[in-house]
């Protein structure tokens, strides 16, 4: 049964998807034949407090949080401030999970999530939130991260349910293939992968080399800040070209390395999984996430994939229809399906 929200055209349906990433927090809900996406960058930058500064931020509509005697610029503006001051932004999430080093940021994360997801349409509305797979190359567990987010969403009166990021990509993009294939989410802090067969996850994992790793490595190589590299990467990187400039060239090299690293780990997981379900057709691969956005990423991935020897027949490699929103859309599919069973 659809629930109407007073004062808005169209019907906003029950169920929400939320993608809480190292770089961005996204929320999706369905309205008519459209999806409403709400986003906020998951970063903040501390500046000295004064009444004058606060008035300046308010009048220029820069988003901020005041906590005791400190001011924190949040969102996209945080990156701009960081670039001006030639410093780094602070990230409440690190390598895909709540950062143990940023405990004081927990109330800020909660506020950011609250501002993105808003109030539930009814108490107990189902909200599927993305969680990373177990990391293959790092020794931390994701239980703390999952439970913290569950706590935040429960306090906001949602019924939170976790969904693996890679699986969410499959739900969003592989309907025509009966939700069979590989979903890859190239995030800022982590890359998540899931092989799914008829919507059932066969295996999934994450690796902690991702967009931030590229920014940091290139920053070290060319003596710039990671925030600067991130800004250049997002604005102008083209992987179809030669990139003769120092920064473009370094980014291209590290992208190659990242793709090879991911494919190597997928191959290892395939080899470890002895009893694979019998899949007749070639397996499609969906690429998504902000780190996969540069022009030419999909052809480069496909080229490197073809050079690797995979135990299964690989089919089409394509970018998600909406790469940045693929995870949150998949979470929304799961949430709406669950809501319809109530």
Partner 1 sequence: MLLTGTEVEILTIIGKLEETTTTAISRRAMITPGYADYLCKYLTKKGYLELTKRRSYRLAPEGARTLIKMGRISPIWDKEFVKEMAQEIAKEMRIEGGFVREGRRGLEKGIEIKTEFIPPLELEEVKMESNIGRVNTKKEKSPDFEKTLKLFKKIKSSKRKEE
**Residue ranges that bind partner 1, judged by CB under 8 A:** 30-31, 33-40, 57-58, 61, 63-68, 74-76, 106-108, 110-112, 115-116, 133-134, 136, 141, 143-144, 147-148, 151, 164, 171-172, 175, 178-179, 198-205, 269, 272-275, 277, 321-322, 325, 329, 333-334, 336-337, 340
Residue 209 and residue 191 in contact, taking contact as beta carbons nearer than 8 Å: yes
| Residue with smaller CB distance to partner 1, 145 or 247 | 145
Instruction: Read off φ and ψ for residue 255, nearest 5 degrees.
Output: -65, -40
Q: What minimum distance in Å lies between the beta carbon of 249 and partner 1?
A: 32
| Residue with smaller CB distance to partner 1, 200 or 220 | 200
Residue 177 and residue 284 in contact, taking contact as beta carbons nearer than 8 Å: yes
| Residue with smaller CB distance to partner 1, 260 or 269 | 269
Dihedral sign (CA 5, 9, 10, 16): negative
Q: What minimum distance in Å lies between the beta carbon of 16 and partner 1?
A: 14
Q: What minimum distance in Å lies between the beta carbon of 133 and partner 1?
A: 5
| CA 271 and chain centroid, separation | 27
Q: What minimum distance in Å lies between the beta carbon of 119 and partner 1?
A: 14
| Residue with smaller CB distance to partner 1, 143 or 312 | 143
Q: What minimum distance in Å lies between the beta carbon of 47 and partner 1?
A: 14
The Cα 330–Cα 342 span in angstroms is 19
| Residue with smaller CB distance to partner 1, 38 or 267 | 38
Tokens describing residue 305:
């994939």
Q: What minimum distance in Å lies between the beta carbon of 274 and partner 1?
A: 7
| Residue with smaller CB distance to partner 1, 27 or 247 | 27
| Residue with smaller CB distance to partner 1, 36 or 253 | 36
Place of tokens 């349906």: 13
Other beta carbons less than 10 A from residue 139's beta carbon: 5
The Cα 252–Cα 240 span in angstroms is 9
| Alpha-carbon distance values, 286 to 186, 204, 318 (Å) | 11, 14, 5
| Residue with smaller CB distance to partner 1, 6 or 272 | 272
Q: What minimum distance in Å lies between the beta carbon of 226 and partner 1?
A: 23
SS3 91: coil
Q: Bridge-partner residues for 185, per DSSP?
A: 192, 288
Tokens describing residue 311:
């135990």
Residue 163 and residue 128 in contact, taking contact as beta carbons nearer than 8 Å: yes
Residue 272 and residue 327 in contact, taking contact as beta carbons nearer than 8 Å: no
Residue 334 and residue 168 in contact, taking contact as beta carbons nearer than 8 Å: yes
Q: What minimum distance in Å lies between the beta carbon of 33 and partner 1?
A: 6
The Cα 141–Cα 242 span in angstroms is 39
């Amino acid at each position: 049964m659809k629930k109407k929200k007073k004062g808005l055209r169209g019907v906003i349906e029950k169920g929400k998807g939320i993608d809480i990433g190292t770089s961005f927090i996204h929320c999706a809900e369905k309205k008519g034949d459209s999806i409403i996406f709400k986003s906020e960058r998951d970063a903040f930058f501390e500046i000295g407090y004064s009444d004058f500064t606060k008035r300046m931020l308010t009048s220029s509509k820069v988003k901020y949080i005041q906590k005791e005697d400190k001011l924190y610029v949040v969102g996209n503006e945080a990156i701009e401030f960081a670039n001006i001051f030639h410093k780094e932004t602070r990230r409440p999430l690190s390598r895909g999970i709540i950062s143990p080093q940023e405990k004081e940021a927990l109330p800020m994360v909660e506020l950011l999530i609250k501002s993105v997801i808003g109030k539930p349409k009814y108490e107990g509305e189902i909200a599927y939130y993305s969680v990373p797979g177990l990391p293959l190359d790092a020794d931390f567990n994701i239980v703390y991260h999952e439970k913290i987010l569950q706590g935040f969403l429960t306090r906001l009166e949602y019924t939170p349910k976790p969904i693996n990021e890679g699986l969410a990509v499959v739900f969003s993009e592989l309907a025509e293939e009966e939700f069979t294939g590989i979903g890859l989410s190239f995030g800022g802090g982590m890359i998540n992968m899931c092989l799914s067969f008829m919507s059932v996850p066969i295996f999934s994992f994450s690796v902690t080399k991702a967009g931030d790793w590229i920014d940091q490595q290139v920053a070290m190589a060319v003596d710039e800040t990671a925030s600067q590299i991130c800004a250049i990467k997002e604005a102008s990187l083209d992987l179809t070209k030669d990139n003769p400039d120092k920064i473009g060239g370094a980014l291209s090299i590290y992208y190659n390395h990242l793709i090879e690293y991911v494919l190597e780990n997928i191959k290892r997981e395939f080899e470890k999984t002895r009893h694979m379900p019998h899949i007749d057709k070639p397996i499609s691969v969906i690429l998504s996430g902000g780190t996969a956005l540069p022009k030419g990423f999909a052809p480069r991935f496909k080229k490197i994939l073809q050079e690797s020897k995979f135990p299964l027949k690989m089919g089409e490699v394509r970018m998600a229809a909406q790469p940045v929103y693929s995870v949150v859309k998949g979470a929304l599919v799961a949430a709406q399906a669950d809501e319809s069973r109530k």
